[in-house]
Amino acid sequence: MIEDLRKSETWRVFRIQSELVEGFENLFELGPAVTIFGSSRLGEDSFYYYQAVKVAKMLSEAGFSVITGGGPGVMEAANKGAKMGKSRSVGLNIHLPHEQVPNEYQDLTISFRYFFVRKLMFIKYAMAFVIFPGGFGTMDELFEALTLVQTGKIESFPIILFGREYWQGLIDWMKSTLVSNGTIGREDFALFHIVDEPHEVCELLKEHYRVFGGPVPIGECQNSK
C-alpha cells in the first residue's frame, strides 16, 4: 500500500511541496539578490567565465547576493565572484541523470528534483537576471522571464544579456522574423538590455530601481580587477 502510494502522482505532490518549503525557508531572508545564468560548458579559459567572475564580485560588493544554478562553467564563475565579495553566494542545484555536482564556491546550496520549483526560486528571490551565453537551459530561463514580464504575471525587472557578439544574432532573428510576422511587437525589445561591460550591469540596476523604486542595496558599483 505505502509502496503503491510512493509511485503514485499523489505522492509526487508531497515531494514538490517539500521542495517548495525548503526553498522558501532557506531563501526568505536572503535579501536583495541577482540571479546569474550561463553555460555549464564554458570553463576557466573562457572569456565569459572571466567576465562572470567580475560581474558577480561587483554585485556582491555592492550588496547583492548572487544566485546561480549551482553547477560548473558560468555558474561556478558567478559563485566564485560572489565569494570574493561581501554578500552571499547561493547555488540552486538540480538533480540530473549525469549528476550535476554543486561547485565549491557556495555559502548556501539547495538541491532540487523539479526544474519548475527551482525556476520559481530563481524568479521569486531575484531583483534582476544577468544572462551570459548558454544553451537550452539558459534560453529557457531567458524566455520564461521575458514571458512573465510581457504578460504582466510579474513586475518588470532588469533582464540583462551579457555579450553582444553572442546574443546579437538572436536579436536580429527576433526582429526579422518575430516582429515582421507580428508575433511580438517592437516595444518588447524594451524588456531586456544587452551589455558588454560589467559596470553596465550595475548601472542598469541602479537606473531601474531609481525609476521604478525598490529596496536597492546601499553600495557603489566598483570595477572588479
What residue spans define the domains of the chain? 2-212
Q: Which residues pair with 130 in a beta bridge?
A: 36, 160
* Model pLDDT, residue 176: 97
Q: What is the pLDDT of residue 189?
A: 97
Among candidate residues 172, 105, 170, 160, the one with its CA nearest the CA of residue 135: 170
The CATH code belonging to domain 2-212 is 3.40.50.450
How confident is the prediction along the chain (225 residues), in pLDDT tens digits per residue? 455 555 667 788 888 999 999 999 999 999 899 999 999 999 999 999 999 999 999 999 988 999 999 999 999 999 999 999 999 999 999 988 775 788 999 999 999 999 999 999 999 999 999 999 999 999 999 999 999 999 999 988 999 999 999 999 999 999 999 999 999 999 999 999 999 999 999 889 888 777 766 655 655 566 545
Helix axes 115-124, 136-150, angle to 10 degrees: 60
DSSP label at residue 102? P
Strand pairing report for 128-131 and 33-37: parallel
Residue 79, pLDDT score = 98
